[in-house]
Chain A
Amino acid sequence: MTLLSLHGIRKSFGAVDVLHGVDLSVAAGEVVGLVGDNGAGKSTLMKTITGIYRADTGSIEFDGKDILALDPGQRRRLGIEMIYQDLSLAKQQDVASNIFLGREPTKRLFGLFPGFVDKSEMDRQATRMIERLGAHLPSINRSVGSFSGGQQQTVAIARALTFNPKLVIMDEPTAALAVREVQSVLDLIRRLRSEGIAVILISHRLNDVLSVTDRIVVLRHGRADADLVTANTNMNEVVSRIVGGGDTAAAAAHEQRG
């Protein structure tokens, strides 16, 4: 079943055309790797899916609905989450504030005034989510900026998973992590797939992409240049499609060594 389908997505910033008509589809519970050289348009494409950018032309359907006109908050409510490379955390706020930012549960103060944040409920759910991820944080009431990189990423992941998403987009989730943390992120991706959650993984680490995805889409010069089934491809082919042909054996061997 197709969960997300993009058709002919174009996006330019002033005179710079970044996307020239991208087609992409993701099925429910499918893990799709999105690879391409720097400047190929990966991040721009993802931001047109989350609604941070509005595509100039083209169509975006999610779960059978046209979502082109929706803002980021509305798309999030439909079940599209993204974990940004910079994590997009509010560093001076605590764990629960970050996880629930924009979606805080509310209660009435003295049963009268609406719009008051239910902080104890937030803390309870945040603690449960962090535990479910098997992570350990020093304190849930401390500002996120005081955490290590891996701990901050845990918060970003918890935020993406708390509201039962259907699609999680991860932008370079393993780029800044230690070896053991990389494995736990890859395990998490497999777990999401087994729960029927679709994942789009953007990564420069082709080993990670080859080991965890079902399909690999290569973005080149603002187009989806290749759509490869992971089981039927190899490092050599992926590298060759990224750089656009030529003898890539040396480059592929280098990537293989990781």
Chain B
Amino acid sequence: MASEQPGFWARVQRASVERLHIRLESLVVLLALGTAMALLSPYCRSLSNFLNILLATSTIGVLAIAATFVIGSGGLDLSLGSVMGLAGVAGAFVAVNLGWPSVFAVIACILAGAIAGNINGQLVTRAFVPAFIVTLGMLGLARGLALVISQGRAIYGLPPEIVYIGQGRPFGIPMPVIIFVLTAIVAHAVLAYTRFGRHTLALGDSEGAARAAGIRVEHHRRIIYTLSGALAGLAGLLFTARVNAGDPTAGINYELTAITAAIIGGTNLFGGRASILGTMIGALIMGVLQNGLTLLAVQSYYQQMAIGAVLILAVFIDQYQIRKESRV
């Protein structure tokens, strides 16, 4: 246990974790990164670039919210990016190939994601296949199905209502940013302040304790995976609407960035500790990083490497701190 009189910094850290559910280090990293980018590239400082970062973060951010719930509950969802791609194609297919009204396309996106997520949950809780394998399999299944539905080509010609969801700018703010921020606020309230959220973290902390407390563990897990899929569907909708096409290759490797954002935000890789506020900081760090590297004309291949390195670094720091705390 820590000494009885922790230092000032330690007390501030503890307070921020207990009251705000965020790790201060991530906020420091975000500010430092933002400052560095602003100094290196004049364009970085503009308001329009700030909105650009938010816009680019919105898709990843929604996926990162999904990753936070799943990982916080002690699970894992590697199929986020593929399910997002499948959902976008499903929506475009309904709107363009079937010619149904736009509202059905929106429903199709989210429903396709929710169904894929529910299948993940059913397999994890009823067939006892580990989440790692189930969602890795779903990563292949959903991607393949997206390619089958679209016959390997992007579906163009979306109706204007859908395009507005991706490209509209009420009050000058991009629609995906508005939807992303609203989703994040609701998700934060649910995870931090509702029974559902508390049970989610207790489940990730100790499944035995949750079961003994009368929480219906399997039922709860199925809801989490379904929710994760539905959020991936929402991300698919945002992406499809923004690029104005149902692209079957959308979201490849996005789960990597989303999970990284969640971990940077303070989510315990093994469950039990998570906050949406923290994840949002993590998602912004990833957004600023990608935006800055792009503006500095760094090839996207290197960006991919940077994301992978950041993921490993974030988990290393988290594990290092846990070991330090338990040793003192």
Report how far A98 CA is from B213 CA in the complex, Å: 9
Which of B91-99, B196-204, B225-233, B282-290 forms part of the interface with chain A? B196-204
Report how far A118 CA is from B189 CA in the complex, Å: 13
Complex contact A101–B1 (CB within 8 A): no
A91-B272, A115-B196 known; A84+B212 contact, CB < 8 A: yes
Is A220 among interface residues, defined by CB-CB distance under 8 A? no
Complex contact B18–A141 (CB within 8 A): yes
Residue of A nearest to B203 (CB): A90
Interface 1/0 per residue, A54-93 and B, CB below 8 Å: 0000000000000000011110110000101010111111
Chain B contact residues: over half helix, strand or loop, or mixed? helix
Chain A contacts of B194 at CB under 8 A? 115-117
Report how far A91 CA is from B202 CA in the complex, Å: 9
Report how far A101 CA is from B208 CA in the complex, Å: 12
A115-B196, A117-B193 known; A71+B216 contact, CB < 8 A: yes
Is B214 among interface residues, defined by CB-CB distance under 8 A? yes
Is B209 among interface residues, defined by CB-CB distance under 8 A? yes
Chain B count of residues within 8 A CB distance of the other chain: 28
Report how far A103 CA is from B273 CA in the complex, Å: 20
Residue of B nearest to A92 (CB): B272
Is B205 among interface residues, defined by CB-CB distance under 8 A? yes
Complex contact B209–A90 (CB within 8 A): yes
Chain A contacts of B209 at CB under 8 A? 88-90, 98, 101
Is A232 among interface residues, defined by CB-CB distance under 8 A? no
Complex contact A104–B195 (CB within 8 A): yes
Report how far A203 CA is from B189 CA in the complex, Å: 44
Report how far A109 CA is from B216 CA in the complex, Å: 25
Within 8 Å by CB of A72, from B201, B211, B268, B272, lies B211
Is B206 among interface residues, defined by CB-CB distance under 8 A? yes
Report how far A116 CA is from B192 CA in the complex, Å: 9
Task: Give residues of chain A (38-58) contacting chain B, Cβ–Cβ below 8 Å.
Answer: 50, 52
Minimum Cβ distance to chain B for residue A199 (Å): 18
Interface 1/0 per residue, A105-129 and B, CB below 8 Å: 0100100000111010000000000
Is B2 among interface residues, defined by CB-CB distance under 8 A? yes
Is A258 among interface residues, defined by CB-CB distance under 8 A? no
Report how far A167 CA is from B235 CA in the complex, Å: 49
Give the bracket for the number of chain A residues in contact with chain B. 35 or more
Residue of A nearest to B1 (CB): A146
Interface 1/0 per residue, B1-36 and A, CB below 8 Å: 110100000000000001000000000000000000
Report how far A52 CA is from B215 CA in the complex, Å: 11
Chain B contacts of A98 at CB under 8 A? 209
A-B contact count (CB 8 A): 91
Q: Which of B199, B201, B202, B210 has the largest number of chain A CB atoms within 10 A?
A: B202
Complex contact A102–B213 (CB within 8 A): yes
Complex contact A92–B273 (CB within 8 A): yes
Within 8 Å by CB of A82, from B193, B196, B198, B212, lies B212
Task: Give residues of chain A (158-206) contacting chain B, Cβ–Cβ below 8 Å.
Answer: none
Within 8 Å by CB of B198, from A74, A104, A109, A148, lies A104
Residue of A nearest to B18 (CB): A141
Chain B contacts of A154 at CB under 8 A? none
Residue of B nearest to A122 (CB): B198
Is A97 among interface residues, defined by CB-CB distance under 8 A? yes
Complex contact A71–B195 (CB within 8 A): no
Complex contact A97–B198 (CB within 8 A): yes
Residue of B nearest to A98 (CB): B209
Complex contact B211–A93 (CB within 8 A): no
Within 8 Å by CB of B202, from A93, A109, A148, lies A93
Within 8 Å by CB of A73, from B202, B214, B272, lies B214
Residue of B nearest to A148 (CB): B1
Minimum Cβ distance to chain B for residue A111 (Å): 15
Complex contact A72–B205 (CB within 8 A): no
Complex contact A116–B193 (CB within 8 A): yes
Minimum Cβ distance to chain B for residue A13 (Å): 15
Chain A contacts of B1 at CB under 8 A? 138, 146-148
Chain A contacts of B198 at CB under 8 A? 93, 97, 101, 104, 117
Chain B contacts of A93 at CB under 8 A? 198, 201-202, 205, 272
Report how far A255 CA is from B72 CA in the complex, Å: 46
Chain B contacts of A90 at CB under 8 A? 201-202, 205-206, 209-210, 272
Report how far A72 CA is from B211 CA in the complex, Å: 8
Chain A contacts of B268 at CB under 8 A? 92
Chain B contacts of A72 at CB under 8 A? 211-214
Minimum Cβ distance to chain A for residue B198 (Å): 6
Within 8 Å by CB of A115, from B18, B195, B214, B215, lies B195
Residue of B nearest to A73 (CB): B214
Known pairs A92-B268, A102-B210. 5 more at Cβ < 8 A?
A73-B213, A90-B202, A102-B215, A104-B195, A146-B1
Chain B residues near A (Cβ < 8 Å): 1-2, 4, 18, 189, 193-196, 198-199, 201-202, 205-206, 208-216, 268, 272-273, 325
26 A-B contacts (beta carbon < 8 Å): A72-B211, A72-B212, A74-B214, A82-B212, A84-B208, A89-B206, A89-B209, A90-B202, A90-B206, A90-B210, A91-B206, A91-B272, A92-B205, A93-B198, A97-B198, A97-B202, A101-B199, A101-B213, A101-B215, A103-B213, A104-B198, A109-B189, A116-B189, A117-B193, A117-B194, A147-B1
The 8 closest A-B pairs by CB, nearest first: A73-B214, A102-B213, A90-B205, A92-B272, A101-B213, A88-B209, A90-B202, A88-B212
